[in-house]
């Protein structure tokens, strides 16, 4: 999406200030260049740049935000003849994309093609003949918040559905039903993922369907967000005189008797999906809160502890937190995707177990 005129001017002013703050760099905006008519203007602004005595011309392409899909469009446009103004031999201009936010994947594409970029967070990449500028700064707070929201709450349920059923094609309504969300939420997530080039589509209008073509990239992106996602509330218990394997069976029987919805996760679930450890000492599960859940916990006869727990309960506030659980020998296990993410946020050998699970069961 093109930047608004006001946002475009602000971004270009920020870029000029960032360049001028660098040692032995002079940068001036060419204000005398006439604006082309629609479809004819080759660039949004032009900057005359001097770095350590060398002169360059920067041609600026301004966008509001840039994701891989946007960058591919920009690169295609830059290769078309009508976007390249004639310049004397040896004085080819340097193209630079400015945007309020540029995703990591988009930055990588631009670097691969040696096209410069600048974002409002202060990151700058400028590959010019005889001069190389590279400043990598953390993304802005607004960009971090936007990305984080994609991997939490009901939007995360949509991602979960796509990963579990990564071989399927989805319409918006079908995906919303599987993820237990509204069609609006499903559509919003799909639109966002398309910008990352993680989806392919077919059809048009109401019959349009999408397919997750890059499940590994999506799962990797989710892993990167784990540190910023609020940890769930935990309740630690010790159930006396019962080892973990027997406790697992007992939990399944008691919860079934009370018709309580739950899902075993972490090491106990991973050991069922892809055995890795010689033994598991603790059961961790998500439990849908309610009076029946309280009665089931009471029947187990546990005592609350701070250390030495063999049963850890994570409160689930909605059925969406138990999506895609699987029943194995009368025990309900969280989906392999959920177990993998949980293990990565755990301690001990959990991370090794997570990678083993991803390789042996998830497969991407």
Identify the CA nearest to 256 among candidates 223, 296, 216, 310. 296
What pLDDT is attached to residue 230?
78
Beta bridge partners of 60: 45, 96
State the DSSP H helix or E strand holding residue 147, giving kind and residue range, or none if neither: helix 141-150
What pLDDT is attached to residue 87?
55
Question: What angle in degrees, to the nearest 10, is found between the helix axes of 336-344 and 350-357?
Answer: 150
For domain 5-139, the CATH class is: alpha beta
Structure confidence by residue, pLDDT tens digits, 231-273:
777 899 999 988 888 999 999 999 999 999 999 999 999 999 9
The CA-atom distances, in angstroms, between 117 and each of 61, 71, 91, 128, 340 are 9, 11, 20, 12, 35
Buried b (16+ CB within 10 A) or exposed e, 296-322: bbeebebeeeeeebbbebbebeeebbb
What pLDDT is attached to residue 35?
44
Residues (pLDDT < 70) of the chain are: 1-4, 32-42, 81-91, 140, 142
Buried b (16+ CB within 10 A) or exposed e, 168-194: eebbbebbbebbbbeeebbbbbbebbb
Question: What angle in degrees, to the nearest 10, is found between the helix axes of 291-300 and 244-257?
Answer: 140
Strand 331-333's sheet: what is its strand order?
Answer: 303-304, 234-238, 311-316, 283-288, 262-265, 331-333, 326-328
For domain 142-228, the CATH class is: mainly alpha
Return the percent helix, strand and coil in the chain, to nearest 5.
Answer: 45, 25, 30
What pLDDT is attached to residue 89?
47
Q: Are 177 and 183 in contact (CB under 8 A)?
A: no
Which tokens sit at 65?
């935000």
In terms of phi and psi (left: phi > 0; alpha: psi -120 to 50; beta: otherwise), the region of 197 is left
A 10 A CB-CB count for 279 gives 9
Structure confidence by residue, pLDDT tens digits, 64-105:
889 998 999 889 888 775 555 555 544 678 999 999 989 888
Residue spans per domain, the chain = 5-139, 142-228, 234-362
Helices (H) and strands (E) in the chain, counts: 13, 17
Beta bridge partners of 57: 48
Q: Tokens 């850890």 appear where? A: 312
Q: Are 230 and 223 in contact (CB under 8 A)?
A: no
Which tokens sit at 261?
């919805």
Identify the CA nearest to 190 among candidates 150, 142, 143, 146. 150
Buried b (16+ CB within 10 A) or exposed e, 76-114: eebeeeebeeeeeeeeebbbbbbbbbbbebbbebbeeee
């Amino acid at each position: 999406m093109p930047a608004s005129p006001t946002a475009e001017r602000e971004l270009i002013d920020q870029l000029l200030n960032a360049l001028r703050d660098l040692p032995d760099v002079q940068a001036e905006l060419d204000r005398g260049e006439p604006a082309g008519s629609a479809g004819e203007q080759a660039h949004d602004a032009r900057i005359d740049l001097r770095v350590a005595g060398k002169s360059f011309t920067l041609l600026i392409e301004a966008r509001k935000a840039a994701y891989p899909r946007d960058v591919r469009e920009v690169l295609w446009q830059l290769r078309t003849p009508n976007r390249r103004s004639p310049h004397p031999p040896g004085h080819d201009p340097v193209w630079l994309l400015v945007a309020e936010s540029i995703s990591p994947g988009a930055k990588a594409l631009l670097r691969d093609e040696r096209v410069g970029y600048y974002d409002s967070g202060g990151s700058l990449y400028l590959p010019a003949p005889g001069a190389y500028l590279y400043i990598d700064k953390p993304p802005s707070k607004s960009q971090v918040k936007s990305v984080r929201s994609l991997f939490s709450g009901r939007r995360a349920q949509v991602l979960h559905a796509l990963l579990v059923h990564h071989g399927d094609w989805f319409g918006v309504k079908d995906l919303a039903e599987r993820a237990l969300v509204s069609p609006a939420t499903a559509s919003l997530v799909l639109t966002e993922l398309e910008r990352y080039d993680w989806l392919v589509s077919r059809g048009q209008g109401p019959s349009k369907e999408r397919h997750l073509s890059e499940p590994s990239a999506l799962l990797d992106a989710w892993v990167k967000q784990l540190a910023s996602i609020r940890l769930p509330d935990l309740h630690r218990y010790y159930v006396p005189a019962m080892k973990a394997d027997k406790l697992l069976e007992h939990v399944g029987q008691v919860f079934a008797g009370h018709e309580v919805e739950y899902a075993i996760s972490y090491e106990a679930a991973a050991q069922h999906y892809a055995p890795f450890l010689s033994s598991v000492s603790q059961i961790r599960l998500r439990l849908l809160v309610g009076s029946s859940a309280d009665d089931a916990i009471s029947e187990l006869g546990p005592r609350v502890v701070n250390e030495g727990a063999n049963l850890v309960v994570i409160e689930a506030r909605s059925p969406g937190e138990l999506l895609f659980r699987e029943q194995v020998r009368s025990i309900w296990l969280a989906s392999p995707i959920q177990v993998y993410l949980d293990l990565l946020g755990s301690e001990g050998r959990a991370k090794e177990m997570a990678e083993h699970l991803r390789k042996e069961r998830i497969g991407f």
